[in-house]
Structures are given as C-alpha cells and as structure tokens.
Amino acid sequence: AQTVTQSQPEMSVQEAETVTLSCTYDTSESNYYLFWYKQPPSRQMILVIRQEAYKQQNATENRFSVNFQKAAKSFSLKISDSQLGDTAMYFCAFMKLGGAQKLVFGQGTRLTINP
C-alpha cells in the first residue's frame, strides 16, 4: 500500500515570500502520478500541479513549481511570490498508474500568507 506523509502541519509566511511545502511518499510502484491540491476556506478542492513519475523535468504552473526527487520519494511544492489568496490547506497526493484511479492523500499542510 502507498502512503503519503506531509510533515509540516502548519506554515506561515509573509506576502511576496517564497515558501516550500514538503511531501514524501512510500511506494513500490514505478509508474505513478503525484499531485498537489489546494483547499481554501471555501472547502473546494483545486488542483495546483501534477507530475508524472516518468518525467524527470519538474512540473511548473506559473508561481507554483515542484522539486520531484524520485529516488528519495520526495515531492515538494514551491510557491514563489506568495499572495494572500494562497492561504489554504495544501494536500499532496499519489496515484498509481493503471487500474482504478485512486488518490492517496497526505495529512495536509495549513499555509497562511500574512500581509
């Protein structure tokens, strides 16, 4: 079974700073996807970024980028030039390729951006 661990329950930074959220996972699979989802106070789950394990290049989406270290089973999210609207719970998630598309989530990191 796969497990996903987010070791930072809470983080807080000032607006415009850069922040990195950590995520590690455990799996024996070689083909999989990794995701970061954002959950603002509205409770809506929003996809931030996705990484295919077979791609060595780190995914980027505007101010959001990942540092994917496959051998270390690490998948951190970097938010550059943080904005007040980035305040949310952030969840790291794992999905095995093939079969049922089950997402396995980490416990979440509550990120607060201060003005």
Partner 1 sequence: IAGITQAPTSQILAAGRRMTLRCTQDMRHNAMYWYRQDLGLGLRLIHYSNTAGTTGKGEVPDGYSVSRANTDDFPLTLASAVPSQTSVYFCASSPNSGRGDEQFFGPGTRLTVL
User: Which residues lie near partner 1 (CB under 8 A)?
Assistant: 4, 6, 9, 33, 35, 43-45, 47, 50, 52, 91, 93, 95, 97-108
Distance CA 109, CA 87 (A): 11
Q: Give how far the C-alpha of residue 16 lies from the chain's centroid of Cα atoms, to the nearest Å.
A: 19
User: Could you tell me the smallest distance in angstroms from the CB atom of residue 102 to partner 1?
Assistant: 5
Nearer to partner 1, 64 or 105 (CB): 105
Instruction: Give the angle subtended at the CA of 49 by the CAs of 3 and 24, to the nearest 5°.
Output: 25
Nearer to partner 1, 18 or 112 (CB): 112
Three-class secondary structure of residue 84 per DSSP? helix
Nearer to partner 1, 82 or 90 (CB): 90
Q: Give how far the C-alpha of residue 103 lies from the chain's centroid of Cα atoms, to the nearest Å.
A: 13
Residues 66, 67, 73, 74, CA torsion sign:
negative
User: Could you tell me the smallest distance in angstroms from the CB atom of residue 17 to partner 1?
Assistant: 25
Nearer to partner 1, 85 or 98 (CB): 98
User: Could you tell me the smallest distance in angstroms from the CB atom of residue 39 to partner 1?
Assistant: 8
User: Could you tell me the smallest distance in angstroms from the CB atom of residue 49 to partner 1?
Assistant: 10
Yes or no: say if 111 and 23 are a contact pair by the CB < 8 Å rule.
Answer: no
